[in-house]
Amino acid sequence: MCGRYRIKDTDQITAHLLEAFGIPPWTLTARYNAAPSQELPVVVGGGDGRARIATMRWGFVPSWDESEKPKLAPINARTEGAFAKPLFRQAIQRRRCLILADGFYEWQRLAGDRKQPFDIQLRGGRPFCFAGIYEAATATRPDTFLVFTTRPNSVMAPIHDRMPVILTGDRAREWLVPGPITAEQLTGFAEPYPAQDIVAQAIGSLVNSPRNDSPAVLGPAGPEAEFHLE
């Protein structure tokens, strides 16, 4: 799954938005521990074919649920089978989006109930996007979104059995192209990002709490940390 991520290098991400999507300079707030239920920047395609930034709440709430405390608000969806699910079908065709990031966090299960957090990023710290879908706002809440997940590559597999769908370059732009896609196309987008371009680093436990949203969460794991990457 993907339950936390970061938007650390805002200058680099802003430059990426201009280069990749033609989005003019945008004031981004650095986030070191973005978490579900928070309102976060998302890229959407406009009807005129131009991409734009929107602020959305993380946790996809179906349009028919207008309650203030919805019972259903998934933060992730498996690409496998998502195409056939009524909850996601319309959004896959009409409301695809990209979630801005330059890193994400995942927890490796250890013996007992212990977990070791990892910071995962692209080699060189390059910005990227998660593939997602969103649901339109209602009278009681803003637009909401989720992140698609896929099977892990060889770097992620020792850490977790899922990883987010990561898109860069042309693939990211293609995800935003208006119009329906097929189940086969969704499967193509969901190919795990190449392992040789992914770097995972064990970090300390500060990231465990979303209240900790500062560079300190990226501090390395202490000498007492136990984990395995093979």
| pLDDT value for 70 | 84
Percent of all residues in the chain with a pLDDT value above 90, rounded to a whole number:
78
pTM here is 0.94
106 as an active site residue: the answer is: yes
97 as an active site residue: the answer is: no
Are 34 and 7 contacting, i.e. CB atoms less than 8 angstroms apart?
yes
Give, for 18, the enclosing helix (H) or strand (E): helix 10-21
> Is residue 82's pLDDT more than 70?
yes
Average pLDDT over residues 26-42: 96
| pLDDT value for 127 | 97
Band of pLDDT at residue 229, cut at 50, 70 and 90: low
Are 125 and 9 contacting, i.e. CB atoms less than 8 angstroms apart?
yes
Residue-averaged pLDDT of the chain: 93
Please provide residue 183's backbone torsions phi and psi, each rounded to the nearest 5 degrees. -60, -35
Domain ranges of the chain: 4-218
Distance CA 91, CA 59 (A): 14
What is the dihedral sign for C-alpha 78, 192, 219, 43?
negative
| pLDDT value for 68 | 75
Average pLDDT over residues 66-86: 90
- CB atoms < 10 A from the CB of 140, how many? 12
Average pLDDT over residues 47-59: 89
> Is residue 165's pLDDT more than 80?
yes
Fold (CATH) for 4-218: hypothetical protein yedk fold (3.90.1680)
Interval 94-152: pLDDT, tens: 999 999 999 999 999 988 888 999 999 999 999 999 999 999 998 888 999 999 999 99
Distance CA 14, CA 8 (A): 11
Catalytic residue among 97, 106, 129, 135: 106
| pLDDT value for 228 | 56
| pLDDT value for 227 | 57
Are 145 and 133 contacting, i.e. CB atoms less than 8 angstroms apart?
yes
| pLDDT value for 159 | 97
